[in-house]
Chain A
């Protein structure tokens, strides 16, 4: 079966800054994204959990799959947006089945 090489970017970011990141991703030209709400863990901002009431201590996971060139552009554009927020950004190689979707 024919597979196509893409880059997969993962953002673990503070829920309150997720809309900004999503807007940037779409403007950059990605055709879509996936969001996992309420992810928890521990990092340099302490324990991040699903505290009710306020989004301030809540994280979400955003996954974007795009071509390599676009992936680099998205990652570099994300850095100024994340300056004062909790955020982990990673990029990895993936193979997709339906090339036209990404």
Chain B
């Protein structure tokens, strides 16, 4: 127990979390501090490239076995299933209409890449290993939740023909499957997997050493974004803010149980918990805005970006890791 407390305190006082807090505070106080958008974009591209490449190299080292297939199937299953749980909870516990509930549910089945990156950095800092294919799980979990979310939104609605058409339009499909960050993540993973250790020798100065520091700077920018969204809390309401905290715990519990069942390492269980707990704020909002325009983006983006993301970053990651250490293989 003392251990858990120590890990949690250590995480709260890490540069990553503190820079995030600085960003939130600065934006909330209406400071004019900003990170120019092209730089912020470059930082995020760097993080995708580094995490993808490292995962690919790790997979090349461990080789492919049946575990990879099982894990990827599990990832798709989680992404499809979690929105159903989120949707049912929202409909029972809150007074939200079914469109908004479905839009939010889709976010919680999908994942936050930055939360995953922060968790992997947390593990690396503590020299905890994790399976290379976790990055592939991250990539495949991004989209199935959108399908579940849209199907949930369709149920019980007597839609017009134009609604029917727009749900899975080519524009939505392109946005979902060819989203820049996903393309770079998967592409770098493939390159890391193909080039293995010799590739890593070339890329290491870029993808290994500066990784944690770049993440901290990126988190400053995330903090600035979150700080700006705090004004929307009124629209979100107390019930939903609470949902943004207990839903990740439910997702993490399911993720950990499943990851333990298929025999992942402690690092792997931690990361699956993080994947199941995190909510999307890039790919899913864009898809929902096109396919489900009646749902209010101020609610779903604020919930995933300003409630669940900080919660996972500050408290979720160390908590999931502590539990994974207890239940995982020694």
Instruction: Name the prevailing secondary structure of the B interface residues.
Output: helix
A53–B282 CB distance below 8 A: yes
Contact with B along A36-62 (1 / 0, CB 8 A): 000000000010011111111100000
Interfacial chain A residues near B41, Cβ < 8 Å: 52
B289–A55 CB distance below 8 A: yes
**Residues from 58 to 90 in A contacting B, C-beta threshold 8 Å:** 80, 83-85
Report the interface size class on chain B. 20 to 34
A52–B37 CB distance below 8 A: yes
Contact with A along B31-46 (1 / 0, CB 8 A): 0000001001100100
- Given the complex of chains A and B, what is the CA–CA distance between A85 and B292 in angstroms? 11
Considering residues A46, A52, A84, which has the most beta carbons from chain B within 10 angstroms of its beta carbon?
A: A52
Interface size on A (CB < 8 Å)? 19
A56–B40 CB distance below 8 A: no
- Given the complex of chains A and B, what is the CA–CA distance between A14 and B290 in angstroms? 11
Other-chain contact of A51, B228, B289, B290 (Cβ < 8 Å): B228
Chain B residues proximal to chain A, CB less than 8 Å: 37, 40-41, 44, 162, 171, 221-222, 225, 228, 232, 281-282, 285-286, 289-290, 293-294, 297-298, 301, 305
B301–A54 CB distance below 8 A: yes
Nearest residue, chain A, Cβ from B171: A19
B37–A16 CB distance below 8 A: no
Interfacial chain A residues near B281, Cβ < 8 Å: 53-54
Other-chain contact of A56, B162, B222, B228, B297 (Cβ < 8 Å): B297
Interfacial chain A residues near B305, Cβ < 8 Å: 53
- Given the complex of chains A and B, what is the CA–CA distance between A20 and B222 in angstroms? 29
Chain A residues proximal to chain B, CB less than 8 Å: 14, 16-17, 19-20, 46, 49-57, 80, 83-85
Other-chain contact of B297, A20, A52, A53, A57 (Cβ < 8 Å): A57
- Given the complex of chains A and B, what is the CA–CA distance between A57 and B300 in angstroms? 12
Interfacial chain B residues near A19, Cβ < 8 Å: 171
A48 shortest CB reach to chain B, Å? 11
Nearest residue, chain B, Cβ from A82: B293
- Given the complex of chains A and B, what is the CA–CA distance between A16 and B282 in angstroms? 12
> Known: A19-B171, A49-B228, A50-B37. Is A56-B290 also a contact (CB below 8 A)?
no
Other-chain contact of A84, B37, B293, B301 (Cβ < 8 Å): B293
A16–B225 CB distance below 8 A: no
Q: Which 8 A-B pairs have the closest CB atoms?
A: A84-B293, A16-B289, A56-B297, A56-B285, A52-B40, A54-B285, A56-B289, A52-B37
